[in-house]
Amino acid sequence: MEKLLNVENLKMHYFTSKGAVRAIDDISFDLLVGETLGLVGESGCGKTSLATSILRMPSPPGRYVSGRIMVEGRDIIPLPEKEIRKNIRWEKISMVFQGAMNCLTPVYTIGKQMLETLNVHKEMPKPEAEALVKEYLGYVGLPPEIMGRYPHELSGGMKQRAVIATALFLKPSIVILDEPTTALDVIVQAQIISLLKKLKAQFNLSFIFITHDLALEAEVADRICVMYAGKIVELGLNGQIFGAQGPAHPYTERLLAATPRLFQKVEKLHFIPGTPPDLIEPPLGCRFNPRCNKAIPRCREEEPPLAEIEPGHMAACWLCNR
Amino acid sequence: MADVIVHIEGLKKYFEPHQSLIQSIGKSGPKKVIKAVDSISFDIVRGEIFGLIGESGSGKTTTGKLVMKLLDPTEGVIEFNNEDVTKLDKAGVIEYRRKVQMIFQDPYASMNPRFKIRDVLEEPLIIHKIGSSFDERQKLIIKALEEVKMMPAEEFMGRYPHMLSGGQRQRVATARTLILNPSLLVADEPVSMIDLSTRAEILAMMKDVQEDLGLSYLYITHDLSTARYFTDRIAVMYLGRIVEMGLADDIIDNPLHPYTQALIQAVPEPNAGNVGVVKELPIFGEIPSPANIPSGCRFHTRCPYAKPECENEAEPELMPAGNGHFHACRRWDQIKRAL
């Protein structure tokens, strides 16, 4: 299948006064046309850093160290900012930010904020621009009157819909969704997920869907990419991760065991003891080894590579790569 | 009759919006009263974990605050150990707050960042005049930290909140409540801001403490999947009313009210094979404003099974369905046949 986005050996570190925080440390993956790639992991594992890196806007003091981000065969890291604004950001790759509901300015109407985004990218007569905004509000299930409303007049779900519409109207091919439903109630979450699935088919989009909730990934993602401490530890198809065989990497396995299931009464929920490591000086060998219950001596000395264990399924674990 | 620790009957909390002088002189329409909690009744049995489930705006947090006496009810009865707490005097309220403690949602905001953990835990002792000497308080603090498995306790006492992870802070928050030897804990979304990998750890710890000390919990959450594991009984709230109540297993395996059914179907499950499916929930739109509650059954505007009688007739009260299971839907048996 055709590749839309190809990230190769990307390293992005935050250069702080205490040392370099290796938030993205040698990550490679690709995004195929029409797929949803789920990015999952605990807080602080580098999910959001990876998303902003793909948009060529790592938050300071973050800087690219090495690697390439290929969009349509072109590395976007060395491109000038002007070119990124004109041709890449929002035009090819857009993003729905974490807590998107709070990224709307309280003092402007929804319509003004949406038109502003549009005007930065496209010169368009006002009536035409307004018609376009109304059209996209319609796609996300909002009435056109919303344009005249202020954010505080809308519910969380409505604000999230408006933000999704804003991410779509420049017709990007890739949309990065960073925890798009985390602050929402479970019913609204399900409604937004259904909406996203419909929009994806309608506009032929590819999604990078970031969340900490494995259960949600099971519902939306074709492929799941599990991150731990700035690295990919497992990458596999939905069926390979959530199927009968179960995930390969001990981290994914334990994360899945910690996910509560509604229709299964369990006596004891599992959890992963300890906390994710310090990324200034990550542990030697596999970064998960201090919390892993299956670690062998080799795990403490040598870092396992991300290797294929079956077609389409990769894991970075010495126990899987025999 | 079971040993009831908290008995709530006909509890109401209405908020009246602030009106400016001009608004009150001018001929503005009738005041829009926000009915956050609109006549609810339930009991918490001693030693049980009672879950209050609902979307935002359902009134679950207001109910928690009413039980904590952080708010005064508009109407209704709250009895704690057969004593009406709505009529307590000042000294009574202080004593009540010792017995009923709260764990807040945000472990980052509920502790003074300039206090060491020792100070965080000592403050309630000083307020309630427990422990006459430093050594006595020190012993209580160590005991509380050990109860929540923060060991070695001496080491954690010298730390500041920012040096702890979210999970550890929530342990300290629990220790802070336990130090007063309460009999009821009100926990308002205690794990919603904690990472999934440690969420289970905190819930397991809270459950262990509950079993060890024979506490009762009022657990407020929007998350049904942790509620099933954590609670004994569940009440589902919608727009200030309880629409269904019963044993946690009964509610989840056999929901009778269409709102509960929608809530359950909305929960994602970590199983393969759902990617291609666009889930259509049996519910319309979003929760209406509590200032403008629909007539009749307040759920009828979103209910796919609603008939004219649901809108026009009086609001259904909770009806028993056996085994301590109650629901407030007059068409529940027709809905059941339709499914």
Query: Is A185–B272 a contact, with Cβ atoms under 8 angstroms apart?
Result: no
Residues in chain B, overall count: 339
One-letter amino acid at B129 equals K
For chains A and B, count residue pairs whose Cβ atoms are closer than 8 Å. 133
Determine the structural domain holding residue A162 and report its residue range. 107-170
Q: How large is the ipTM?
A: 0.85
Is the residue at A30 inside a domain? yes
What number of CA atoms fall less than 13 Å from residue B208's CA on the CB side? 15
pLDDT in tens, A74-125: 999 999 999 998 889 999 999 998 876 778 889 999 999 999 988 888 888 9
- Residues of chain B with C-beta less than 8 angstroms from the C-beta of A241: 272
Whether residue B30 has pLDDT greater than 70? no
The pLDDT tens digits for A231-285 are 999 999 999 999 888 899 999 999 998 888 888 777 777 888 888 888 888 899 9
Measured between beta carbons, the chain B residues lying within 8 angstroms of A157 are 286
Q: What is the rounded end-to-end Cα distance, in angstroms, of chain A?
A: 29
Q: Do A83 and A193 belong to one domain?
A: yes
**What is the model's pTM?**
0.89
pLDDT at B337 (0 to 100): 64
Q: Assign B160 a pLDDT band (cuts: 50, 70, 90).
A: very high
Do the Cβ atoms of B55 and A185 come within 8 Å? yes
Q: Within a domain: residue A80?
A: yes
Which region holds residue B131: left if phi is over 0, alpha if psi is between -120 and 50, else beta? Answer: left
Which domains, ranges and CATH numbers included, belong to chain B?
Answer: 4-254 (3.40.50.300)
Chain A residues near residue B199 by CB distance under 8 angstroms: 258, 271
Residue A99 falls within a domain, yes or no? no
**Cβ–Cβ of B196/A255 closer than 8 Å?**
yes
CA distance B132 to A124: 75
Closest CA to B147 of B171, B180, B119: B171
Sign (positive or negative) of CA dihedral B65, B68, B70, B76: positive
Residues A128, A13 share a domain: no
Structural domain includes residue A97: no
- Give the pLDDT band of residue B339 (cuts 50, 70, 90): low
Contacts of A188 in chain B (CB under 8 A): 55, 286
pLDDT band at A208 (very low <50, low <70, confident <90, very high): very high
Which of A150, A170, A190 lies at the terminal end of a domain, its last residue? Answer: A170
Say if CB A220 and CB A40 are below 8 A apart.
no
Residue of chain B whose Cα is closest to the Cα of A220: B275
**Cα–Cα distance measured from residue A241 to residue A218, given in angstroms and rounded to the nearest whole number:** 9
Q: Domain ends where: A170, A185, A209?
A: A170
The answer on A218 and A122 residing in a single domain is: no
Order of strands, edge to edge, in the sheet holding B233-238?
B100-103, B184-188, B216-221, B49-53, B233-238, B241-247, B326-327, B319-320
**pLDDT, tens digit, for every residue of B45-57?**
999 999 999 888 8
How sure is the predictor about A156, in pLDDT bands with cuts at 50, 70 and 90? confident
Flag whether A322 is in a domain: no
| Contact present, B51 and B219 (Cβ < 8 Å) | yes
Count the neighbouring beta carbons within 10 Å of the beta carbon of residue A32.
15
CATH code: domain of residue A84: 3.40.50.300
Put simply, whether B223 touches A (Cβ < 8 Å) is yes
Same domain for A222 and A252, yes or no, is: yes
The pLDDT of residue B201: 85
Are A34 and A81 within one domain? yes
Structure tokens at B33: 């009263």
Tokens 């570190």 locate to A13
Domain shared by A162 and A59, yes or no:
no
Most B-contacting residue of A140, A182, A186, A206 (CB-CB within 10 A), to test interface:
A186
pLDDT digits (tens, 9 = 90+) for B176-199: 999 999 999 999 988 888 877 788
> What residues contact B293, with CB distance under 8 A and at least 6 apart?
B35, B38, B239, B240
Residue of B108, B151, B165, B195 for testing the chain A interface, max A β-carbons within 10 Å: B195
Instruction: Tell me the nearest-neighbour CA distance from A191 into chain B, angstroms.
Output: 8
A243 to chain B, closest Cα gap in Å: 6
Determine the pLDDT at residue A205: 94
Could you tell me the pLDDT band of residue A147, with boundaries at 50, 70 and 90? very high
Asked if B269 and A262 touch (Cβ cutoff 8 Å), the reply is yes
